[in-house]
Amino acid sequence: MSAPTVRRRRLGAKLRALREGRKLTLEDVAEKAAGRITVAKLSRLETARSAARQADVEMLLGLYGEDDTELRAALLTLTREGAQRGWWHSYRGVLSPVYEDLISLEAESATISTWQMGVIPGLLQTGDYAREIITATAMSAAVEARVDALVEVRLARQAVLTREQPVELWAIVAEGALRTRSVGEGVMREQLSRLLALGRRPNINIQILPADSPPHVGQMGSYSLLGAGLYPDLDVVHVESLTSALYVEKREQVGVYRDAFDRLRAAALSIEASAGRIAQIREEA
């Protein structure tokens, strides 16, 4: 059995919430389904131990009397895309399952809110800057051997910003990340120019948190909030460390990260002032 993906866990959690919201037990649903689904199968779907089929999800939504068309569409999209192979599957020998989860979530998200303490967000990186960061943070010979492929993947992820219905990205970056000395000639200057160019796109907002800011909640670590649009209870937080990544999926905990991002937005320079600070640092680079 394959390991549950974040997508499956999101779907299963929402199906369980819909059932419990109608005061139905697993046994109640199995009885109402008249043999179309068993207690064991429904339990596996809700706990993400089994991948859901579209027919099963449609049946359950019908049994629950769920007539919210937007919610139905969101859940059925999660179901369909869970069975599809994305472009990143061609890099399966290169990417960890956790990284594949991140890429698939980015592809499905309506909004992405990211706070980065030490680096420019991956969705905004140039190829040369990405290569320097990936090389500098590679902690094994295996990763060092895959740098070229990992750079390709990082740049391919950025297509979510320019697709027909692009992701709305709100990025807050610590000023120190913009002042990192690059190894290659002109790498940081090119990266800062790219930030200025992308910041002019209507779906991208970039704020800088000044280096002389007072203590703030962002000092506890970088993270990204991947938003599902109209249904924030499907939002997921991605927290990355040097050796692993954590997905925060419980609604209450996601809410804490959402509130923290609001605090960071208030503490950071305005979008206009942030562009001015980026331009200033570029001239000094």
CATH code for position 210: 3.30.870
Is the model's pLDDT at 64 over the cut of 80?
yes
Is the model's pLDDT at 155 over the cut of 90?
yes
Q: What pTM did the predictor assign? A: 0.83
Could you give the number of structural domains in the chain?
Answer: 2
32 vs 22: CA distance, rounded Å? 13
- Calculate the average pLDDT of the chain: 91
Which residue, among 56, 43, 51, 60, has the nearest Cα to 6 in the 3D structure? 51
Is the model's pLDDT at 183 over the cut of 90?
no
Is the model's pLDDT at 82 over the cut of 70?
no
| Chain centroid to CA 88 | 15
Q: What are phi and psi of 20, to 5 degrees?
A: -65, -30
Parent domain of 226: 94-284
Residue 232: per-residue pLDDT:
83
With cut-offs at 50, 70 and 90, classify the pLDDT of residue 234: confident
171 vs 191: CA distance, rounded Å? 15
171 vs 261: CA distance, rounded Å? 10
Is the model's pLDDT at 215 over the cut of 80?
yes
Q: What are phi and psi of 224, to 5 degrees?
A: -130, 135
Domain boundary among 30, 56, 82: 82
CATH code for position 43: 1.10.260.40
Is the model's pLDDT at 243 over the cut of 90?
no
Is the model's pLDDT at 24 over the cut of 80?
yes
Domain boundary among 52, 82, 112: 82
168 vs 156: CA distance, rounded Å? 17
Q: Which of 48-52, 187-191, 234-238, 262-266 has the lowest mean pLDDT?
A: 48-52
Task: State what percent of residues in the chain have pLDDT above 90.
Answer: 66
Write the pLDDT tens digit of every residue in 8-17: 888 888 899 9
Is the model's pLDDT at 153 over the cut of 60?
yes
Domain boundary among 82, 116, 140: 82
Q: What are phi and psi of 245, to 5 degrees?
A: -140, 150
Cβ atoms within 10 Å, residue 95: 19
Is the model's pLDDT at 281 over the cut of 70?
yes
pLDDT, average across residues 31-47: 92
